[in-house]
């Protein structure tokens, strides 16, 4: 009888751990970690220099746009990060990556990238892009306030 109780208890513990780990995995990397606030990327393409780094950055940027539009936010994040590794001053890449972070519920990283994009837009004198970022930040703030109300 003791062996039967041990086996039954072991099965229950393993099932509980499996459910718990599955739930955590779903919340971290599955649909539970996504809250689409920004459905469309910024499609304005920056000027890329006619260099090897410029061509690579352009390819990564375009791949990021395509992944974003397909809802593959983690892949898009990686592509924009790769574009920024080639050319660090791409305001549009920071802007898109900020929107992606927001969709992945990483609001702190989203705000940091959106602020960096606004600084680069300011250097370019791109007022309409700065207005867009202000709207993005306001939407993030509104979502945060709604979450706090639900608690």
**Helices 91-103 + 73-86 axis angle, to 10:** 160
pLDDT at 34: 80
pLDDT tens string 70-91: 999 999 999 999 999 999 999 9
The residue among 134 and 29 whose pLDDT is bigger is 134
pLDDT at 130: 96
Q: Which of 6-10, 25-29, 57-61 has the lowest mean pLDDT?
A: 25-29
Tokens of 84: 């920024």
The answer to whether the beta carbons of residues 57 and 48 sit under 8 Å apart is yes
Closest-CA residue to 92 (of 27, 44, 59): 44
pLDDT at 28: 47
Distance of alpha carbon 114 from the chain centroid = 12
Largest Cα separation within the chain, whole Å, is 79
Confidence of residue 20 (pLDDT cuts 50, 70, 90): low
């Amino acid at each position: 009888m003791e062996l039967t109780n041990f086996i039954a208890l072991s099965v229950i513990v393993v099932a509980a751990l499996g459910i718990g780990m599955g739930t955590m995995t779903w919340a971290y990397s599955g649909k539970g970690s996504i809250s689409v606030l920004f459905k469309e990327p910024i499609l304005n393409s920056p000027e890329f220099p006619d260099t090897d780094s410029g061509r690579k950055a352009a390819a990564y940027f375009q791949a990021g746009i395509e992944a974003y539009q397909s809802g593959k936010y983690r892949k898009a994040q990686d592509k924009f990060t790769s574009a920024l590794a080639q050319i660090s001053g791409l305001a549009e890449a920071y802007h898109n990556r900020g929107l992606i972070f927001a969709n992945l519920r990483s609001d702190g990283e989203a705000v940091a990238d959106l602020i960096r994009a606004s600084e680069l837009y300011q250097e370019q004198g791109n007022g309409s892009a700065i207005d867009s970022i202000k709207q993005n930040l306001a939407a993030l703030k509104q979502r945060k306030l709604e979450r706090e109300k639900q608690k």
